[in-house]
Structures are given as C-alpha cells and as structure tokens.
Amino acid sequence: MSEASAQPRSPSMLQALTPLLFLIAALATSVYLYADDSSYGANQIALLLAGGIAALVGLYNGLRWDDVQQAIVRGISIATPALLILLAVGALIGTWILSGTVPTLIVYGLELLHPSFFYPAACLICALVAVAIGSSWTVAGTLGVALMGVASGLDMSPAITAGAIISGAYFGDKMSPLSDTTNLAPAAAGGELFAHVRHMAWTTVPAFVIALVAFTAVGLTASPSAAGADFGDLGAIMGAHFNLGLHLLIPMVVVFGMAIRRVPAYPTILIGALLGALFAVLFQADRVVELAANDALSRPMALLSGAWKALFDGYSAETGNAAVDSLISRGGMSSMLNTVWLILCAMAFGAVMETAGLLERLIRGVLTLARSTGSLIASTIATAFGCNLVAADQYMAIVLTGRLFKPEYEKRGLAPENLSRALEDGGTLTSPLVPWNTCGAYMAATLGVATLEYLPYVFFNLVSPVLAGVLAYAGYKILRTRAAA
C-alpha cells in the first residue's frame, strides 16, 4: 500500500454532522426520559454512543483503531488537571464546612447582605476576587459555596444566585492578566496579552454593567423563594453547631494568597482542603469526632478519622433542622465522581470528533459562510461555542478555533486582538453554559445547581457574546493591522 493511500480520506459534511445530530437527539431523549437525573448516567451513555459513531465514520474513512484509541487517551489527558481540581474542590468543600469556615462566611453574609441587593453584591464580590486571583473555578469553589449558603438563609433563588456567582467569576477571570484563558486566547491568535485585555473591555465592561443592572432589577422585584422557609434562624443554628470566628477565614485567605502568587490551582485548592481539615481538628473537635462515628477509636484517632472522612466523603450534619442539614451536608471527593464520569465521556467524544477530522470539517463549513468582517467575527464566536458543545473543553475551543480562523483574520488585515476577543466571548464565556463541558459540569457540581437551571440567569455570559456580535456587524472597535490600514 502506498503512503498516499494510507492517509485517511477527508470526511464529508454529512459524515461530520451525523455524530453531532445523533448526540443532540440522544441528549434530548435523555432529558425527556430522566429530566434532572439525565446527567447521572444517561447523558454519559449518549456521549459515548455518539463517540462510537464518530469512530465508525473515522474507520470508514481509513482511520486506524489505534489512532482512535490514542486520541481518546490524549483527550482525557487534557482534562486530567480539571479532574484533579474538581476532586480537590470536593475535598475543600467538605473540610471547610467541618472546620466552620463556610458556616462563618454564611453567618457574616447573612448579617451584611440584604435580600434587595444580594444578587448584584454577590456578582460584584465574585468579580473583584476573580480579577485579583484570575480563577473563576477557585472563586466558585470558595466564595461561591458560601454565597449559596447565604442565599438559602435569605430565602433567595439558588438558580439566580448561581447565575450571579458565575457571571461575576467569569468577568473577573476574563479581565485578569493572571487567568489562563486570558493568556491562552492572545497566544492562539498571535496577539499580546495587555492589548487583548484592553480590547476585550469594549464588550466585557458594558456586558457586565448590563448584568449588574439585571441582577439589581431581579433583586428588587422578585419575591423571596419559598425554598428557605424551613431554615428558621440559620445564623443561630450555625452558631450553636459550630465555633465561629474570623480566624476560621484563614484557610480562604491562604488560598486566595496562593492564587494571587500564581501557584497552580490544584496544589492551591488541595492545600486549602488540608488546611481546612487541620482547622476542623483544632476548632471543631467535637464535630470531627461526631463525623467519625466510631466509639471504638481513641480521641486522637477519631479526630484523624473524621478529618479524613470529610476529605473523601464530605460533611454530614445533624443539627436537628432538616433544611439546614441538607444545606451543609455536602462535599468530599466522592461527591464529584459523577461529574468526573461526565467529563471523561465528553472528552472522549470530542477527541474522536477531532481526530476523525469531523470537527475541522464542521468549522471549515462555517468559515465559508463568513464573507464580511462582521460575519467572520460572529462565526468565530459561534464556532468557539460549538467547540464547547462538541469538544467539551474551553481550552480546546479556544485553541482549535484560533488555529483555524487565524489565517483568515491575517488574510483580511484584521488585528489579532479581534480574534482573541472573539475566542474569549465565544469560548471562555459559553463554557459554563454547556452541561457536559468541563466548566458547566464543574459549576453545577460545585454550586449544587443544574446547568440548565442557572443558565437563564448567567446574564453576563449570555449578554457578552451577543454584544460582541452586534459590535462586529456595526464595525465598531474593529482593529486593523498596520499593513491593512
């Protein structure tokens, strides 16, 4: 067999669409049959079956099974850092509840935040912290968890609260020079970091202002949720069950300090979880022994057992109030295993689609329709969002879309800042809107609200891509290269 004949054939558009259309139909059927429980196995099966169809198309076109298998391994390896962070966040939630860190934040939040301005305040707080540390995931896994507890105590909507947290976290992540995606986008487009940040401000800042106005309007007009009616005096219950105090916020200060110093996310969050376990032993010894639930152990071993259990299985409360118990009985690495399962299946599907050439074929089909500058930028945003749907990872969405669109931007004399901004608007911001994307799965698991429930309220993430498309078609703030000018 000649070398040329050994090369896989390029797929047709119909072949590229077949696995995607099957996935859409399978996911719709999954939601119809299982509703909110669809992400607990049914969606994973749909992703694996769609990946199997993509593999069959690739094999039909001459791809070898070894190529498919290696692609799956590579795809899953890309998600490995996210999976480790996810497990570490589960451990952090468990130990920070047991240590009293989260209960302290909830009690102080109840005293400081009024229901009328809770949503915009939550959004703004998360935005400021995310700008400082450059990580939406860290903000959601720390402040976000506490704010969800405050929302329950104030009888606020969990879905709207999650939308406010994610909106603020992603604004800060997007505008922070410390963020990995903010560095990745200009790198993929061939631009410069600070020029990219300045150019993003034209779409990002107005979108954030609109989001704050929307959250303010919702907070002033919406009636409190009935979901928190059984909490009673949440602050008093927390105070009776935990030893509270400002010193219990030290683990959070340490985590934010490490993040500001650009320590990688996984060791930062894991150290925060271990520090939470230490604080639990020092300041909540009775709760730790109670969690161990083993009278045969000596007190030192019971303390070790309880702290260890919080890391892998989370905290289980027995306050005498069922609603409060439900609120703070969570966390542990085990709580993230279903999300890990979902991400593994999604990454396998995306990897096969890319290796078989199906994803590139879909993107090139979109590129042929982009005749004007406005349609090119809008197509870039739509393609990055499509990659989030298919490849299930924001990094792949940014890199793959940037790689395929960069020559066209250069050909038309468009500055790389136009491409990098579009990559962020379409890739970074839409990632938490997809249930099986690494970001969507992470936010749902961390905040305890299903992706499709919080999706209508992630105002910033919804408005920014639309605003970017409008400005592109209007020709406003479109930069040209010096040669083109």
Interatomic CA distance for residues 311 and 334, integer angstroms: 9
Three-state SS at 480: strand
Residue with tokens 């593999």: 55
Nearest-CA neighbor of 334 among 315, 313, 317, 316? 313
Predicted local distance difference test score (pLDDT) of residue 3: 44
Predicted local distance difference test score (pLDDT) of residue 226: 43
Three-state SS at 414: strand
Enter the tokens of residue 433.
């809107």
Predicted local distance difference test score (pLDDT) of residue 231: 58
* 235 in Cβ contact with 153 (< 8 Å): yes
Quick: pLDDT tens for 142-178.
Answer: 889 989 988 988 889 999 999 999 999 999 999 988 7
Positions in the chain short of pLDDT 70: 1-6, 223-232, 482-485
Predicted local distance difference test score (pLDDT) of residue 223: 62
Quick: pLDDT tens for 259-305.
Answer: 888 888 889 989 999 999 999 999 999 999 999 989 899 999 999 99
Enter the tokens of residue 163.
């939308």
* 146 in Cβ contact with 105 (< 8 Å): yes
Helices (H), 11-157: 13-34, 42-60, 65-99, 101-112, 118-133, 136-139, 145-153
Query: Could you tell me which residues come within 8 angstroms of residue 88 by beta carbon, excluding any fewer than 6 positions away?
Result: 266, 269, 270, 273, 333
Enter the tokens of residue 282.
């020092």
Interatomic CA distance for residues 470 and 374, integer angstroms: 8
For helices 101-112 and 145-153, give the axis angle rounded to 10 degrees.
50
Widest CA span of the chain, in angstroms? 79
Q: pTM for the complete prediction? A: 0.82
- Between the two ends of the chain, the Cα-to-Cα distance in Å is 51
Nearest-CA neighbor of 353 among 14, 24, 19? 19
For helices 358-367 and 337-355, give the axis angle rounded to 10 degrees.
70
Residues linked to residue 414 through DSSP beta bridges, in sequence order: 480
Interatomic CA distance for residues 303 and 289, integer angstroms: 5
Query: Could you tell me which residues come within 8 angstroms of residue 221 by beta carbon, excluding any fewer than 6 positions away?
Result: none
**Is the alpha carbon torsion for 86, 87, 92, 97 positive or negative?**
positive
Using alpha carbons only, give the angle 443, 448, 449 rounded to the nearest 5 degrees.
75
Interatomic CA distance for residues 431 and 88, integer angstroms: 21
